[in-house]
Amino acid sequence: MGLLKSIREINELAQAFNGVHQMLQPFVNGQETCFQEDLFSIAYICRKEIIDRIESCNFRMEALIIVPMISSTGVTILNAYQQTIGQLFAISAEEGYLENVSEILEKGELYKTVENKIIESLKNMK
Protein backbone atom coordinates (compact mmCIF):
# COMPACT_ATOMS: atom_id res chain seq x y z
CA MET A 1 0.00 0.00 0.00
CA GLY A 2 1.32 3.45 -0.89
CA LEU A 3 2.15 6.02 1.75
CA LEU A 4 -0.70 8.41 0.87
CA LYS A 5 -3.27 5.59 0.79
CA SER A 6 -1.98 4.31 4.12
CA ILE A 7 -2.26 7.78 5.67
CA ARG A 8 -5.80 8.15 4.32
CA GLU A 9 -6.82 4.73 5.65
CA ILE A 10 -5.38 5.35 9.13
CA ASN A 11 -7.16 8.72 9.22
CA GLU A 12 -10.47 7.10 8.25
CA LEU A 13 -9.91 4.41 10.87
CA ALA A 14 -9.34 7.08 13.53
CA GLN A 15 -12.52 8.88 12.43
CA ALA A 16 -14.49 5.63 12.66
CA PHE A 17 -13.18 4.94 16.18
CA ASN A 18 -14.02 8.53 17.13
CA GLY A 19 -17.57 8.29 15.77
CA VAL A 20 -18.32 4.92 17.36
CA HIS A 21 -16.93 6.11 20.69
CA GLN A 22 -19.27 9.13 20.56
CA MET A 23 -22.27 6.96 19.64
CA LEU A 24 -21.63 4.62 22.58
CA GLN A 25 -21.16 7.26 25.29
CA PRO A 26 -24.85 7.92 26.03
CA PHE A 27 -25.34 4.19 26.64
CA VAL A 28 -22.14 3.84 28.69
CA ASN A 29 -23.15 6.80 30.87
CA GLY A 30 -26.74 5.57 31.24
CA GLN A 31 -28.12 8.74 29.63
CA GLU A 32 -30.08 6.85 26.98
CA THR A 33 -31.92 3.58 26.72
CA CYS A 34 -30.35 1.07 24.37
CA PHE A 35 -32.49 -0.12 21.52
CA GLN A 36 -31.77 -3.16 19.43
CA GLU A 37 -31.56 -1.07 16.24
CA ASP A 38 -28.95 1.21 17.82
CA LEU A 39 -26.70 -1.67 18.81
CA PHE A 40 -27.09 -3.45 15.49
CA SER A 41 -26.32 -0.27 13.52
CA ILE A 42 -23.26 0.48 15.64
CA ALA A 43 -22.08 -3.13 15.25
CA TYR A 44 -22.49 -2.83 11.48
CA ILE A 45 -20.41 0.37 11.44
CA CYS A 46 -17.76 -1.30 13.60
CA ARG A 47 -17.50 -4.21 11.20
CA LYS A 48 -17.53 -2.15 8.01
CA GLU A 49 -15.45 0.85 9.04
CA ILE A 50 -13.12 -0.55 11.72
CA ILE A 51 -12.62 -4.30 11.49
CA ASP A 52 -12.70 -4.50 7.68
CA ARG A 53 -10.26 -1.58 7.43
CA ILE A 54 -7.85 -3.09 9.97
CA GLU A 55 -7.95 -6.41 8.14
CA SER A 56 -7.67 -5.05 4.58
CA CYS A 57 -4.82 -2.67 5.43
CA ASN A 58 -3.01 -5.11 7.75
CA PHE A 59 -2.65 -2.45 10.43
CA ARG A 60 -0.65 -3.52 13.47
CA MET A 61 -2.68 -3.31 16.65
CA GLU A 62 0.30 -1.63 18.36
CA ALA A 63 0.30 1.27 15.88
CA LEU A 64 -0.48 4.69 17.37
CA ILE A 65 -3.41 6.76 16.13
CA ILE A 66 -5.07 9.91 17.36
CA VAL A 67 -8.72 9.47 18.32
CA PRO A 68 -9.74 12.81 19.90
CA MET A 69 -12.71 11.42 21.85
CA ILE A 70 -10.44 8.81 23.47
CA SER A 71 -7.11 10.66 23.79
CA SER A 72 -5.66 13.73 22.11
CA THR A 73 -2.13 12.40 22.57
CA GLY A 74 -2.68 9.13 20.75
CA VAL A 75 -3.61 5.56 21.56
CA THR A 76 -2.80 2.22 20.05
CA ILE A 77 -5.29 0.71 17.65
CA LEU A 78 -5.74 -2.06 20.23
CA ASN A 79 -6.67 0.46 22.93
CA ALA A 80 -9.13 2.24 20.62
CA TYR A 81 -10.58 -1.17 19.68
CA GLN A 82 -11.09 -2.04 23.34
CA GLN A 83 -12.72 1.30 24.09
CA THR A 84 -15.16 1.00 21.20
CA ILE A 85 -15.83 -2.58 20.18
CA GLY A 86 -15.05 -3.78 23.71
CA GLN A 87 -17.65 -1.37 25.08
CA LEU A 88 -20.12 -2.46 22.41
CA PHE A 89 -19.70 -6.07 23.57
CA ALA A 90 -20.23 -5.05 27.21
CA ILE A 91 -23.36 -3.03 26.46
CA SER A 92 -24.72 -5.78 24.21
CA ALA A 93 -24.19 -8.37 26.93
CA GLU A 94 -26.04 -6.19 29.47
CA GLU A 95 -28.94 -5.68 27.08
CA GLY A 96 -29.16 -9.32 25.99
CA TYR A 97 -27.96 -8.81 22.41
CA LEU A 98 -24.42 -10.18 22.64
CA GLU A 99 -25.04 -13.11 20.30
CA ASN A 100 -26.66 -10.87 17.69
CA VAL A 101 -23.93 -8.23 17.86
CA SER A 102 -21.27 -10.95 17.61
CA GLU A 103 -22.97 -12.30 14.50
CA ILE A 104 -22.91 -8.86 12.90
CA LEU A 105 -19.25 -8.35 13.78
CA GLU A 106 -18.45 -11.77 12.31
CA LYS A 107 -20.29 -10.82 9.07
CA GLY A 108 -22.94 -13.44 9.58
CA GLU A 109 -26.45 -13.46 8.16
CA LEU A 110 -27.61 -10.68 10.50
CA TYR A 111 -24.86 -8.42 9.08
CA LYS A 112 -26.47 -8.72 5.62
CA THR A 113 -29.93 -8.06 7.07
CA VAL A 114 -28.75 -4.87 8.79
CA GLU A 115 -26.89 -3.77 5.66
CA ASN A 116 -30.02 -4.21 3.54
CA LYS A 117 -32.11 -2.23 6.05
CA ILE A 118 -29.59 0.60 6.02
CA ILE A 119 -29.50 0.65 2.23
CA GLU A 120 -33.32 0.71 2.08
CA SER A 121 -33.43 3.58 4.60
CA LEU A 122 -30.99 5.58 2.49
CA LYS A 123 -33.00 4.92 -0.67
CA ASN A 124 -36.16 6.14 1.07
CA MET A 125 -34.45 9.41 2.04
CA LYS A 126 -34.19 10.57 -1.59
What pTM value is reported for the model? 0.89
Contact (CB, 8 A) for 16 and 45: yes
| 28: confidence class by pLDDT, cuts 50, 70, 90 | confident
pLDDT at 123 over 60: no
Nearest residue to 89 via CA among 102, 70, 104, 107 = 102
Average pLDDT score over residue span 120-124: 64
Phi, psi at 9, each rounded to 5°: -65, -40
Residue ranges per structural domain of the chain: 3-124
Compute CA distances 2 → 6, 7, 16, 63, 66, whole Å: 6, 9, 21, 17, 20
The number of beta carbons lying within 10 Å of the beta carbon of residue 47 is: 20
Place 107 in a pLDDT band, splitting at 50, 70 and 90. very high
Assess contact for 62 and 78: CB atoms under 8 A. Answer: yes
Mean pLDDT over residues 71-92, rounded? 95
DSSP per residue, 83-99: IIIIHHHHHHHHHT-HH
Calpha distance 39→83 (Å, rounded): 15
